[in-house]
Chains A and B, each alone.
Chain A
Amino acid sequence: MPETLNSDLWVDRYGDMLYRYTLVRVKNPDASEEIVQVTLLAALQAKSSFQGRSTEKSWLFGILKHKILDHFRELKTQRTFELTPEDGSDPLENAYHADGHWLNAPKNWDTDPHKAAENHQLVEALSQCMDRLSDKFRNIFVLKEIEGLASEEICKEMGIKPTNLWVILHRARNQLRKCLETSHWDTKQ
């Protein structure tokens, strides 16, 4: 039997999961709530185009994903995503000896990345570390690693030069690395 839509139950059935999905990407609770509302309103308008080939839930998530990207495009009209002097310097600038070897060497996390991803505490720790990034770095990291957009697409959508995208990602990853090391691995020892 094809899936049918029951818009009266959308908020109770899917509201919280749509909200959490948005919050991971957008960070701001008010903006996330607004995006969920805009998504459900758009879904209501588009109800007749639902053909029952997917589940109600994945259909709503499909609309939500578009609305989240719209949100990022809107941010770009308000501020630049290019690298500027305000973004500070490379966190690894003083991490090496003069001969190029590590001074503050990264620790051995001794973990298989895929096994680590099954550790909910660690996933939560990453989420908290992401919230400590600057908005610009967080947004770019989200587009790359959470949304999984291609680098070319991010450069085009957010108006960044490829070399600056790599610099931003490199710095964001290093800040996350440091934060996870302090919040998770240091406390484990």
Chain B
Amino acid sequence: MGQMLQWFQMTCRDTTPLISEMMDHSLPLGKRLRLKFHIAICDVCCFYKNQLETIRALARKLSGEEAPTQQQVVLSEQSKTKIKNSLKQSG
């Protein structure tokens, strides 16, 4: 029983790469269960998971066609004229 528990328990060091990996593809059942078990009893790894999920949500927001950031970033007038001219020449 003790041996089984030892196999089942993971350290934080073992857990963190798996939390990241889990975000990219599904893990085999054994690993998934051990990960779930560890996160359920470890606050800090739970914070870690929440941080990675927050980063993912922020990145999704940043990926939109009208992301809320850097609305002040614009093409310079010079660049706009350059692109307009190239369109005219090509059209």
**Chain A residues within CB distance 8 Å of chain B:** 7, 10-12, 15-17, 19-21, 23-24, 33, 36-37, 40-41, 44-45, 57, 61, 92, 96, 99-102, 105-109, 111, 113-114, 116-118, 120, 122-124, 126-127, 141, 144-148, 151, 165-166, 169-170, 173, 176-177, 180-181
Contact = CB atoms under 8 A, between A and B. Distances in A.
Interface in B15-47: 16-17, 20-21, 23-25, 43-45, 47
B86 A41 contact: yes
Contacts of A127: 62, 69-70
B21 A166 contact: yes
A180 B67 contact: no
A124 B69 contact: yes
14 contacts: A11-B75, A23-B73, A92-B16, A106-B48, A108-B43, A113-B58, A123-B61, A126-B62, A145-B55, A145-B63, A166-B17, A173-B52, A177-B48, A180-B55
B79 interface: yes
A105 B61 CA distance: 27
B54 A24 contact: no
B67 A108 contact: no
B87 A41 contact: yes
B5 interface: no
B58 A40 contact: no
Nearest to A154: B24
A20 B69 CA distance: 9
Given A41-B90, A100-B12, A109 B20 contact: no
Nearest to B15: A100
Interface centre among A44, A106, A108, A109 (most CB of B within 10 A): A106
A10 B14 CA distance: 52
Interface string B57-82: 11111110111111101110001101
Contacts of B55: 126, 145, 173, 176-177, 180
